[in-house]
Amino acid sequence: MTPRVLILRPQPAASATAERARALGLDPVVAPLFEVAPLPWEAPDPRRYDAILLASANAPRLAGAGLAGLLALPAYAVGEATGEAARAAGFGQVRIGPGDGAAALALAEAEGARRILHLCGRDRIDLERAGVAVDRIAVYAADAVPALPRAAADAIAKGAVALVHSPRAARRFGELVPERRAIRLALISAAAAEAAGEGWAAKGVAARPRDEALLEVARRLCQSGPPDAAGAGS
């Protein structure tokens, strides 16, 4: 049987993860825990800023027409997928940060940015760095689903490894599953692993906060075989 993985991140990113999973010989089940939608917002004067920070591909995808006046600013993106979304939205100068949002912010500072506009989600981690002023505007919302999707419950029952792409997703998944002792988690970061808490059958953390690294963790967990629920620990 092809190893199964459960993808919990919102669309359209979930489909991209599913495609990468299939390329690794995994069977993906897509069941997002959040529904993403644009928010109304008003773009500030671009002359106030040295750069734009984009920690999620949802920001450039969903920001809409308000981006038009900001496209001449350099954009610092977390990950290739966010960088691709920034280019598709019209940013001409896109720099990919070496790790997470904090690393992208550090790169922007190292390259001379002192006032940065973070286009973000309504629920986010507020990134801070001494010596850099960061203003935030929420351009999209990711609202949690009220119950565990049926597809997710079915995948869990069949021993799927769950892919967790954020601390918020880790917390929400933990709230929704009725029993965690037989569930293996592949987590995007140590922060996501901490948010997930204990009591899981197994937790594996990606070496880098990238989809490819997360899928490698999931593949290793799949190869270890399904856990024995009676003796599972965290």
* Average pLDDT score over the chain: 92
Range of the domain at 121: 36-143
Among 93, 117, 143, the domain-final residue is 143
pLDDT of residue 226: 66
Cis check: omega of the bond before 28, within 30 degrees of 0: no
Are residue 172 and residue 214 in the same domain, yes or no? yes
Report the pLDDT averaged over residues 10-33.
95
**What's the pLDDT tens digit per position in 131-183?**
899 999 999 999 999 999 999 999 999 999 999 999 999 999 999 998 999 99
Query: CA separation (Å) from 74 to 34, 51, 78, 156?
Result: 29, 5, 13, 42
Are residue 83 and residue 18 in the same domain, yes or no? no
Q: What percent of the chain clears pLDDT 70, i.e. is strictly above it?
A: 95
Residue 191 or residue 87, greater confidence: 87
pLDDT of residue 230: 41
- Whether pLDDT at 100 is above 90: no
In this structure, what CATH number is given to the domain that contains residue 153? 3.40.50.10090
Are residue 40 and residue 138 in the same domain, yes or no? yes
Burial readout 110-125 (b: 16 or more C-beta within 10 A, e: otherwise): eeebeebbbbbbeebe
For residue 99, give both structure tokens.
């790790």
pLDDT of residue 232: 46
Can you tell me the distance from the alpha carbon of 185 to that of 199, in angstroms, rounded to the nearest whole number? 11
Let me know: does 18 contact 30? Beta carbons within 8 Å. yes
Are residue 18 and residue 107 in the same domain, yes or no? no
pLDDT of residue 97: 87
pTM of the model: 0.83
Let me know: does 116 contact 105? Beta carbons within 8 Å. yes
In which residue are the tokens 């601390």 written? 167
**What's the pLDDT tens digit per position in 187-228?**
999 989 999 999 999 999 999 888 999 999 999 999 886 665
Are residue 162 and residue 101 in the same domain, yes or no? no
Are residue 27 and residue 48 in the same domain, yes or no? no
- Whether pLDDT at 231 is above 50: no
pLDDT of residue 229: 43
pLDDT of residue 99: 77
Let me know: does 152 contact 30? Beta carbons within 8 Å. no
pLDDT of residue 129: 87
Report the pLDDT averaged over residues 79-103.
92
pLDDT of residue 228: 57
Are residue 28 and residue 93 in the same domain, yes or no? no
pLDDT of residue 209: 84
Phi, psi (rounded to 5 degrees) for 130? -60, 135
Are residue 116 and residue 61 in the same domain, yes or no? yes
